[in-house]
Structure 1
Amino acid sequence: MNVRRVTLAVAAFFVIAMGITCVSDLRNDQTTTDTTATTSLVDTLNYDPHSGLVVDTTLGLVVANCSGCHSTELIRKSRFTRDGWIAKIRWMQKEQNLWDLGKNEKSILDYLEKYYSPSSLDARAQMRREPLDDIQWYDYQ
C-alpha cells in the first residue's frame, strides 16, 4: 500500500515538473518571438560594448575625437542631418575648443550621417509610435 502511494507521489511530482517546464518553455518561446519581431531592425547592427556606438571601421576615429570631451551617450541620443552634425562640430570648435578635425572630418561625418541621422535605420527602429489623434477625454469623477 505504501509503495503504491510513493509511486503515485513520484509520478505526480514528475507530471507537475514536466508541466512547469513545458509552460516555462512556451513562455520563453513567446517572449523570444515577440522580442525578435520588435527588434529585428536594430539587431542587424553590431554595437561596441564600451562606447555603445555602432561598430564600423570609423568607430575608433569617432571615439578618439568625440569621447575625450563628452560621453558617447550624447552621440547615441542625437539625430542630426549631415548639416546638423557640421553645425554641432563648428559650435564645439568655437565654444568648446574642439580641435580642427582636418582630413578626419569627412570620415567622422560619414559615420554620424550613416548611423545617427534622422533617416538611419536605427533611428526608425527606436522611434516612438505616432502621436494619438481623435482622443476622447473624459472627466475623472
Structure 2
Amino acid sequence: MFTTAGSAAQESTASGELIQEEGWQLVRDNCTECHSSQIIVQNSGSREVWKSRIEWMQDSQGLGELGAELEGSILDYLATNYGQKTASRRQALPAHLMPPNPNL
C-alpha cells in the first residue's frame, strides 16, 4: 500500500497521534504531561494563537516556563503541523435559500 505524506498526516491527526515531523517529540514530552495529544490534534491556529494558548496554560493551568528555545521549537511544530485552518465550516447559505424567520 502506498501512502503520501499528506495521507499519513491525516491518519495521525484522525487517530489522535501527533504528526511525526521535526519537533514532535518535544511536543509529546512537554504537552502530553498535562493533557492528551488529542487536545492538540483537534485544534489549529497560527503561531500567535498557539503562543497565546501556551501563555494561558502558564497563567492559569500551572505550566512552567519553557525557555525561549524550547518554546520556539514547540511553536514551530504546532504552527507548521496544526496551523490555522482556512475553512473549518461550510460557507453560509445565501439569504434567498434561508427559510423565513418567524420572529421578524
Instruction: Please give the range of the TM-score, normalised by the shorter of the 2 chains.
Output: 0.7 to 0.9
> One-letter code of the match for 2:40?
I
Task: Let me know the Cα RMSD of the aligned residues.
Answer: 2.8
1:132 maps onto 2:93 in alignment: yes
What is the distance in 1 between the residues matched to 2:56 and 2:88?
27
Question: Any unmatched runs of 5+ in structure 2?
Answer: none
Calculate the TM-score normalised by the size of structure 2: 0.72
Q: Distance in 2 between matches of 1:56 and 1:112?
A: 10
Measured in 1, the distance between the counterparts of 2:90 and 2:5 equals 15
Higher helix proportion, which one? 1
Match of 2:72 among 106, 115, 119: 106
Pair member with larger Rg: 1
Q: 1:105 to 1:137 in 2, by over 3 A?
A: same
- Other structure's SS at 1:52 match: coil
**Cα separation, 1, equivalents of 2:5 and 2:22:** 21
Q: Identity of aligned pairs, percent?
A: 32
Taking the TM superposition and a 5 Å limit, the aligned residue runs for 1:1-141 are 42-43=6-7, 45=9, 47=12, 51-102=16-67, 103-118=69-84, 123=85, 127-133=88-94, 134-137=96-99
Alignment coverage as a number of residue pairs: 94
* TM-score (normalizing by structure 1): 0.55
